[in-house]
Amino acid sequence: MSVDVMSNVVDNTISSMEVEEPPQHVQDLYSDDPDKLLEAVSRLKNMVIGSNRQKSIAIKHGILPRVLALLGDVQWGDEIRRESCIVLGSLVKGTEENVRAVVDALSVPVLIRVLSSEDAILVEYSLTCLKTVFSHRFAPKDMLYSDPGLIRHLLSLMNESVANKISVASILSDACSSADHQITLANHGVVTHLAALLVSPSIKVQMPAVKCLTEMSYKNEHVSSVIAETVYNGKKLPDLLITLLSRDKPDKMQLQVAACFTYLHRANALPPTDDKVCMKTLPCLVRMCSKEHDTETRVVAAETLSYLIEVDKELQATAAISNRLISTLSEFLKPQQIVFKPLTGTTAVMHKAAFKAFASLGANDEQIRKRIIETEPLMEKVVECLDEPNPDIALAAVRCLHSLSRSVQQLRTTFKDHSVWKPLLKLLQHTRQDILAVASSTLCNLLLEFSPSKEPVLESGAVEVLCNLTRHEDVGLRLNGIWALMNVAFQADQRLKSQILVTLGMDQIFRLLSDDEANIVMKTLGLLRNLLTSAAHIDHIMGLYGKQIMQASILILEGDHGPETKEQALCMLSNIADGFSAKEFIMTNDDVLKKITSYLSHSSPKLQTAAVMCVSNLAWKEEDGSLERQAKLKELGVQKLLHSLITTSDQNLFDRVKTALNQFSPN
């Protein structure tokens, strides 16, 4: 099959006059004379090979239906069909518009039918054409899975020639874009066939095989385990694969193999302690981040490395001390030319890759975070890129910031110095949910009590932004919004607590307490607990919202919630009982009193402890009205239940029971 070596360099413009009258060879395509027809197809082939302009002209002349008809009809003989397939193969090597036209003409079903031909050369040409079509994102990839026998037939064709091996492996790789695809390919025995290709002497055969294994293993534990356990010629597939990671292999091969091992590890098919992961893949990726390699190689290596080490502390620690990696990644952020926003091209992809790698490196270790933050010009670039119009770069920058914001020390120092909260708040107005999710998670950290950024963030309207997040349709954003508000309320003054309650509103609090996501319910109760601290604050808030808050507590205690959630509700009641006038909201609510009493007999020591704390605060003998409250609690059998708990083996519960019983004893 001819090769289009000039397709990407020839002028592609077409005048209207060039397509008005079909040339003779196009008209002759419709001849019934086989010789004339063969000559017409051959002339068309010679015209379109190497010229994007001629490809476009031919398509505008409407040749696609006729070429496909010739290709699909056995009456025209092998030679005409082969030439027709070559024409089609040339057209799909043209512009994206040309390829779309070929696909829209329903060429793929025709090419697939041709695969059943007895003409091995025609089949090879058809596979090559399909390989090119399937390399495009808009190819009808699901068509490969519509016929259960098609994948088996493709695998059988691999043995016919080297070209077939390359084409079939490439088609399967490009057509693997979902978990269902991965499982279907694995169930058809594709992994064993790919293992055979790994021992081929041709790197052109090995490369698509590795790429297909990489696609099949991505985020798929079942398929990854099949790959890891597959044996070919007495060797496990990973042992065959590792031979392709040596330095004498091309960079693209090393990167592809490293990506495959990365996905196998992340899908739990290979542990982080496996030498192929920690001693081969990781050092390879670190090495390929260095400036000795071209930009594309460095970027792919950094992004793959970030995924490899993202969740494993030991791999992060190893990478951080390997081959001056932190310093190497910082060079990604130092462009050699003046740059303007939005970042584009090489500058954009290098910034994005560096931020991703730094985010993974700093995910767990305080010392690594410190080294990253002290590396110039990281913090300046992170803050700068939070305001980047290119959303992918802004996302990578805020993910990096989120990772670094887990550091208590840096929250107290570096983050304050760089005023990271300013662009972060702006990001919370973004339309992309992935950016909103990471930005709001980062804001949660900046709003921790010890963070110097907390005050300026709040002064810039953070409470309203966070309250709006709790109303978002996305569960993750609702969770981040209420979580951040919980942090804001911790040890807050009465003015700020009132602002939160007024801005959020009790109706929204009830909606959050009724949320299907348990974590949202937990954090909402956590917010109420933080609001209801300090006797004066408790009395003030209960004076305004006491009835609704008591309804909320009953909603949780009577609802279908887990022990941890009900413990939070009891702890909130314990806080209310610590107020002065607020106590009466509990003492005058028989339903709540009975609930508290019932939890004294619960099987969970944590729930019993929370209930005992409520009783202890209600009966506190040093406060006005304690005798009347104690008398009512005694009527409910509370004192008797406390005595029954004195034999508990749970030390925390025992201590709380002793304190509570002491309230009932005479002075």
Q: For residue 142, is pLDDT > 80? A: yes
- Tell me what percent of the chain is helix, strand and coil, each rounded to the nearest 5: 70, 0, 30
Averaged pLDDT, 95-113: 94
Q: Where are the domains of the chain?
A: 21-139, 551-666
- Predicted local distance difference test score (pLDDT) of residue 411: 61
**Exposure of 75 in the CB half-sphere (CA atoms within 13 A):** 6
CA distances from 478 to 422, 435, 473 (A): 22, 14, 7
Q: How many CA atoms lie within 13 Å of 377's alpha carbon, on the beta-carbon side?
A: 10
Q: SS3 of 344, please?
A: coil
- Ranking 3-12, 275-284, 492-501, 637-646 by mean pLDDT, the lowest is 3-12
* pLDDT for res 424: 87
Specify the DSSP element, H or E, that contains 235.
strand 235-236
Q: Enter the CATH code of domain 21-139.
A: 1.25.10.10
Strand partners, 232: 235
DSSP class of residue 578? T
- Given a contact cutoff of 8 angstroms between Cβ atoms, the answer to whether 636 and 596 are in contact is no
Q: Over the stretch 209-256, which tens digit does the pLDDT of each residue have?
A: 999 999 999 999 999 999 999 999 999 999 999 999 999 999 999 999
For the full predicted model, state whether its pTM sits above 0.85: no
Both tokens of 524, joined, read 């909402």
Given a contact cutoff of 8 angstroms between Cβ atoms, the answer to whether 663 and 616 are in contact is: yes
Using the structure block, give the residue that is written with the tokens 């907390």: 454
Q: Two tokens at 515?
A: 């949320």
pLDDT tens per residue, range 446-484: 887 677 778 888 888 889 999 999 999 999 999 999 999
CA distances from 509 to 470, 502, 548, 592 (A): 9, 11, 10, 19
For residue 5, pLDDT beyond 60:
no
**Closest by alpha carbon to 398, among 414, 381, 410, 376?**
381
Secondary element (H or E) of residue 637: none
232's tokens:
């070919």
- pLDDT score of 420: 78
Total residues belonging to the chain: 667
The domain 551-666 is placed in CATH, from the list 1.10.620.20, 1.10.287.3510, 1.10.10.10, 1.25.10.10, at: 1.25.10.10
Name the residue type at position 3. V
pLDDT for the residue numbered 31? 83
Alpha helices (H) along 558-667: 563-577, 583-587, 590-599, 605-618, 626-635, 638-644, 651-664
Nearest CA to 436 out of 473, 405, 406, 410 is that of: 473
Question: What average pLDDT does the segment 429-446 reach?
Answer: 90
Q: What is the pLDDT of residues 653-667, one digit of tens each?
A: 999 999 999 998 776
Number of other residues whose CB lies within 10 A of the CB of residue 16: 7
Torsional sign, CA 175, 178, 179, 184: negative
pLDDT in tens, 65-88: 999 999 998 888 899 999 999 999
Whether 402 and 355 have beta carbons less than 8 Å apart is answered as no
Question: For residue 50, what are its two tokens?
Answer: 């190497």
pLDDT (average), residues 351-363: 96
Report the candidate in 594, 581, 494, 585 with the shortest Cα–Cα distance to residue 548: 585
Residue among 625, 561, 632, 549 at smallest CA distance from 590:
632
Residue 102 to residues 76, 99, 131, 135, 174, Cα–Cα distance (Å):
21, 5, 14, 14, 18
- Residue 271 carries which DSSP code? -
What rounded mean pLDDT belongs to the chain? 90
CA distances from 634 to 174, 353, 607 (A): 74, 66, 20
**Better pLDDT: 543 or 343:** 543
**399, two tokens:** 């993910």
Judge whether 21-139 and 551-666 match in fold. yes
| Residues forming a β-bridge with 231 | 236
Phi, psi of 236 (to 5 degrees): -70, 150
Mean pLDDT of 131-155: 94
Contacts of 491 (CB under 8 A, 6+ apart): 449, 530, 533
pLDDT over 90 percentage in the chain: 73
Q: Give pLDDT tens digits for 306-318.
A: 999 999 999 999 9
Instruction: Tell me if 92 sits within 8 A of 98, measured CB to CB.
Output: yes
pLDDT confidence tier of residue 17, bands split at 50, 70 and 90: very low
Dihedral of alpha carbons 117, 118, 122, 125, sign: positive
Q: Which of 353, 456, 439 is nearest to 402 (CA)?
A: 439
- Kind plus residue range of the DSSP H or E element containing 420: none
Q: Which residues contact 374 (CB under 8 A, 6 or more apart)?
A: none
Q: What is the pLDDT of residue 16?
A: 43
pLDDT per position as a tens digit, 245-254: 999 999 999 9
**Res. 423: pLDDT tops 80:** yes
Task: Note whether 492 and 504 are within 8 A (CB).
Answer: no
- Concatenating the DSSP letter of every residue in 274-291 gives SHIIIIIIHHHHHHTTST
**pLDDT over 70, % of the chain:** 93
pLDDT at residue number 33: 87
